[in-house]
A and B are shown apart, each in its own frame.
Chain A
Amino acid sequence: MITEYQMAATVDQLPGGRILSVEVAGESICLAHIGDEYFAINNICTHMYTRLDQGQFYPATCEIECPLHDSRFNFITGMPTKPPADEPVATYPVRVEGDHILVGPRKEHPA
C-alpha cells in the first residue's frame, strides 16, 4: 500500500494522450497524461476483476473504458460514467518532480 509519494514512472514513459499501467507498493495503477496534467486511478475495474489499461482510453473526455463490459470511469474523479460499473475506482494524487512521476496514497470515493 502506498503511504507516501513514490516514484511510479518517468515522464518519457508516458507521452501526452497515453496511459501506462504500473505497480507501486503492490497497487496496480493506471496513469494517464492528458493535456499538461497527469492523473492516476486504480487499474482494477470495480465491476468485475480485470485491468482497465487493457481497454480503450478517451483523452478528450478523460475516460477509460473497461475491456470486458464497456463501463467507463473518469480519470479525475474515479467516478463511473457509464454502467454496468456502479462503484468508483480509487484515485491517487500525482506529482511530477524533474523527470519522475510520483503517486501518493490512494483516495477512496463514496459510491
Chain B
Amino acid sequence: MREVNYVLIGGGLASIRAARQIRKRDPEGSILIASDEPELPYDRPPLSKQFLSGEQSADDIVLEQASKIDDLRIDLTTGNKVHHLDAAGRCVALANGEWIRFERALIATGGTPVRLTVPGADLQGVHYLRTMADARAIASAASKGRRAVIIGGGFIGIELAATLRTLGLDVTVVESLPHIWGRFAGTEVSRFVERYCTDRDVRIVTSSAVSEIRGEDRANMVVTDEGDQFKCDLVCVGVGIRPNVELAIEAGLSVDNGILVDEYMRTSRPDIFAAGDVINWFDITAGRRRRVEHWGHAEYSGQIAGANMTGATEVHDLLSYVWSDIFDLHIEFAGDEDQRDCSILRGDPAEDSFFVFYLKNGRITAFFAVNREPREVAVLRRLIRTRTDVSTRASLLCDPASDLSTLL
C-alpha cells in the first residue's frame, strides 16, 4: 500500500491552503490531495460572477497553477474521489481503487447544494451552482435563454441574478422569507440590496415559496404557493448547502451539523483534521460553535489545520468575514450575524455608502459595510474582538462624520 505523510481529502480552497502551510513547515513531508473534480483546484466565488459572465476563464480562477503545485511537491489526483476513510487503520480508498496509508488526514469535502423537492424539481433546465461544471451549464443555458428564475435570495441567488441580468436576461428572484438575505441581514441591508437590484430591473418576489416547476421535458415555468407563475428558460436554485459528512460518519467521527472540530481544527480522532464548509467548529471570536460557508473561513481553517497537522498549535481566531459583489456594488460583512439585539445605521443607504452595526448587550458583534474606508473596518474589527462596550456611545456610532477610533 502506498504511504504518504499527509492526505488532504477534497480539492478546494481549504485543502490548497492547508497544503501550502504543511509545505512551509514540513519541507520533506509527502502530500497527496485527492479531488473528486476533474479540474485543477479553483476558486469558487467567481463562479457566480466573472466566470459565469465570461470575464474570467478557467485558467484565471485556478488557485495554484500546475507548475506551482509541482514546485510545492504536492501530489494532486483529480477526478478521484475518496470513497472510504478508515480512521483506525489510517488509510483511504480512492475511486480508482488505490488504497493510501496516511499519518495525518484532512477532511475538506465541502458541501452539496440542497435540492428542491417540489414537483418538477428534477426537470432539465433546473440548475444548482457549486462547481465549475455547474457554472458552465448555467452559462450555456443563459446564452440560449431569455428569462431566468432564481429560487432563493441568498448570496448565491442574488449574485447569480445580477450576473444574469448583466448578461441581458430577464431575471426574477423568488424568496420565501420577507426579505432577501433574510437569514443574516436586517431590513436596512436587505431593503438596500433589493432596491439596488430592482433599480437594475431584477424582479424580486419575497414571502413567496415555490410550489412547483412546470415543463414538458425542460423547465419553462415556476409556480409559487401564492399562485404566481413565472415563465422561464432556465431556473437556478440557491437554497443553501448541506455539509458532506459521509466519510466522517463512516470513520466514526463526531458529527453534528458538520464535522465537530475544536479551535485547532482537530476532529474527535487524533491525526484527523477537518476544515472549510464541512466543519462545525468552536469560534473563539464568537464564543460559540458555528458552521459557516464563507471563503475566508475555508481559507483560514485550512491554513490552521495544515499548520497543526505538522505539529503546531495554532488557533482559528479569524473574525469571520464575507463579501458579495452585486452589479458594481461591493458589500463586506464581518462578525457573527446571530448575535444581535439591535442594529445601528451609520451613513445613508440612498448615497450607497453606509454601515449597519449589529449589537448585543451594548457590544458590536457584526457589521455590514458598503463603500466605507478600510480604516473604519479595521477599527470595527478591533471593537468586536475586544468586546468593547459602546452602549453609551450610540450617537457617535450613528454619525458618519465621527471618528470611530475614539471608541477604542
Contact = CB atoms under 8 A, between A and B. Distances in A.
Do A and B pair up? The answer is: yes
A54 B373 CA distance: 8
A34 B356 CA distance: 36
Contact of B374 (A50, A83, A84): A50
A56 interface: yes
Interface stretch (B26-34, B126-134, B338-346, B375-383): B375-383
A69 B321 contact: yes
Interface in A20-65: 50-51, 54-56, 65
B255 interface: no
Contacts of B299: 83-84
What is the predominant secondary structure among interface residues of chain B facing chain A? Answer: helix
B265 to A, nearest CB: 13
Contacts of A83: 21, 299-300, 303-304
B319 interface: yes
Contacts of B377: 67-68
A55 B319 CA distance: 15
B141 interface: no
Contacts of A70: 318-319, 381
B387 interface: no
A111 B71 CA distance: 12
Contacts of A56: 378, 382
Contact of A55 (B17, B20, B300, B378): B378
B296 interface: yes
A67 B296 contact: no
Contacts of A65: 378
Interface string A71-102: 00000000000011010000000000000000
Given A84-B300, A86-B17, A54 B374 contact: yes
B318 A54 contact: no
A55 B374 contact: yes
A98 to B, nearest CB: 32
Given A70-B319, A86-B303, 13 more contacts: A51-B374, A54-B373, A55-B374, A55-B375, A67-B375, A67-B381, A68-B332, A68-B377, A69-B321, A83-B304, A84-B299, A84-B318, A86-B21
Q: How large is the interface on A (under 10, 10 to 19, 20 to 34, 35 or more residues)?
A: 10 to 19
Given A54-B373, A69-B321, A84 B296 contact: yes
A67 B372 CA distance: 12
Contact of A68 (B300, B374, B382): B374
Nearest to A50: B374
A21 B304 CA distance: 31
B303 A84 contact: yes
7 contacts: A51-B374, A67-B381, A68-B321, A69-B318, A70-B318, A83-B300, A84-B300
Contacts of B318: 69-70, 84
A65 B379 CA distance: 11
Contact of A67 (B21, B303, B374): B374
The 4 tightest CB contacts between A and B, nearest first, are: A67-B378, A67-B374, A54-B374, A54-B375
A71 B300 CA distance: 11
Contacts of A54: 373-375, 378
Interface string B319-345: 101000000000010000000000000
Contacts of B375: 54-55, 67
Interface in B275-301: 296, 299-300
**Highest count of chain B CB atoms <10 Å: which of A55, A56, A69:** A69
Given A54-B378, A70-B381, A86 B319 contact: no
A67 B374 CA distance: 6
A55 B378 CA distance: 6
Contacts of B304: 83
Nearest to B408: A56
Nearest to A51: B374
Contacts of A69: 296, 318, 321
A86 B20 contact: yes
Contacts of A50: 374
A91 to B, nearest CB: 19
Nearest to A65: B378
Contacts of B20: 86, 111
A46 to B, nearest CB: 13
Interface string B156-192: 0000000000000000000000000000000000000
B81 to A, nearest CB: 27
B173 to A, nearest CB: 28
